[in-house]
Amino acid sequence: MSPTVAIPKRKLGKTGLEVTVLGMGGAPLGGLFQDLTDEQGAEAVKEAFKQGINFFDTSPYYGVTRSETVLGHGLKGLPRDQVILATKVGRYDKAKFDFSAATVTQSVHDSLKRLQVEYIDLIQTHDIEFGDLDQVSMPVLMTAL
């Protein structure tokens, strides 16, 4: 399946990745704004790709991991080399924040399984301003990844 619409792309910093100027956020896939079935969510992902979107952003926080699982189902059958995939670490529940190396490492491994992919293009820290500043340091986070 190839995109049917050409949405402009921009370079993502110095990563070498090019993302569409319009991406698909994963919060709705986790049911944060309204109920939707996993099938509806997966179809929305496929339709977004068909319409030219290549950037998909999610988090284990959205729907308590549901967003990542639904996004993983939606990505099945899409050419992985044409998708830029982002997820987050550090926030896991309304009041649960953990940016420790061990938790970040486990979170990435768990996200890979839920998303059903071999790699994630972009890992972001989620709501880092609420974290323990002793955990939130580049050496700690880089050790985890």
Active site (catalytic) residues: 62
* Cα separation, 2 vs 14, whole angstroms: 26
95: Cβ–Cβ under 8 A, 6 or more apart, which residues?
Answer: none
Phi, psi (deg, nearest 5) at residue 113: -65, -45
Give the Cα separation of 105 and 85 in Å (integer).
Answer: 17
120: nearest Cα among 87, 91, 96, 82: 87
